Amino acid sequence: MSYIELINSNKSYIVGESKIDANKDVSFQIEQGELVIVLGASGAGKSTVLNLLGGMDTNDSGSIIIDGKDIAGYNNKQLCDYRRNDVGFVFQFYNLVANLSAKENVDLASEIVSDALDSTQVLIDVGLEKRINNFPAQLSGGEQQRVAIARAIAKNPKILLCDEPTGALDYNTGKQVLQLLQDMSREKHTTVVIVTHNAAIAPIADRIIRMQDGKVKDTTINKEPQSIKDIEW
């Protein structure tokens, strides 16, 4: 069995009188330590997949196996523990707390788990040794995203889920953030799932899951992922 397996997962949302099928019979597998890109146009169902993997939403049917456990059968308390202990989340717009310093933002996350990494060390690891006591408004977009990544990885998560992590960043800063995420998978063997609509990023992944209209269109394994410095968009 693979580390992560989505099996025939369905999710729809009711909006007013109509039903939107956000994920239709979605199945895929991910191995531990892989860097995975979920690629698709806006509305394809990518964020829905990520929210299901992260225990932030529940599906209507199908299995969501994470490290041998089907979280689709979890109750609210189990899902809360799962989100707290096993998942790191990185969002497009960073979602930092404005009146807390970089270090305090990271501490917020590490305080809720028992095996957290040292917040100062994690900020140094993401290249922010000179920014530890700065507030978000004093940081560039790329630096804020690096704080958000530090916050996610300080929890020492099993899986790191990133929804359009470079969507708000310029080209070079986006590449630095991707490098950091690729390093997480290569050096720490964290399973990293990145959602993007940018097909140019896909060659850096070990596995590419293409989505269209709520379905998985195809999955490709990339034996020789490209280095981030060689991709362009």
Point out which residues bind Mg ion (CB under 5 A).
Answer: 47
CA torsion 185-113-71-190 (nearest 10°) is 10
Nearest to 53 by CA among 74, 97, 105, 196: 74
Q: In the complex with ligand ADP, which residue's Cβ is closer, 61 or 121?
A: 61
Residue 18: CB minimum distance to ligand ADP, A: 10
In the list ligand ADP, Mg ion, none, the entry touching 15 (Cβ below 5 to 8 angstroms by class) is: ligand ADP
| First-last CA distance in the chain | 36
Residues 88 and 206: their CA atoms lie apart, in Å, by: 19
Binding mask 13-32 for ligand ADP (x = CB under 6 A): x-x----x-x----------
Residue 43: CB minimum distance to ligand ADP, A: 4
Residue 27: CB minimum distance to ligand ADP, A: 16
Classified as helix, coil or strand, 31 is coil
Q: Which residue is nearest to Mg ion (CB)?
A: 47
Q: In the complex with ligand ADP, which residue's Cβ is closer, 52 or 96?
A: 52
Residue 40: CB minimum distance to ligand ADP, A: 5
Q: Please, is 116 exposed, middle or buried when counting C-beta atoms within 10 Å of its C-beta (0-12, 13-18, 19+)?
A: middle
Binding mask 50-89 for ligand ADP (x = CB under 6 A): ----------------------------------------
Q: Is 47 in the site for ligand ADP (CB under 6 A)?
A: yes
SS3 content of the chain, % helix, strand, coil (to 5): 35, 30, 35
- For ligand ADP, the binding residue among 1, 18, 42, 230 (CB under 6 A) is 42
Which segment (45-53, 102-110, 184-192, 199-207) binds ligand ADP by CB under 6 A? 45-53
- For ligand ADP, the binding residue among 9, 30, 36, 46 (CB under 6 A) is 46
Torsion 93-96-102-103 (CA) sign: negative
**Residues with Cβ < 8 Å from 200, sequence gap 6 or more?**
231, 232, 233
Q: In the complex with ligand ADP, which residue's Cβ is closer, 40 or 174?
A: 40
Q: Is 93 in the site for ligand ADP (CB under 6 A)?
A: no
Distance of CA 183 to CAs 56, 70, 84, Å? 26, 28, 23
Q: Is 43 in the site for ligand ADP (CB under 6 A)?
A: yes
Which run of H or of E encompasses 182? Answer: helix 171-188
Residues 37 and 194: their CA atoms lie apart, in Å, by: 5
- For ligand ADP, the binding residues (CB under 6 A) are 13, 15, 20, 22, 40, 42-48
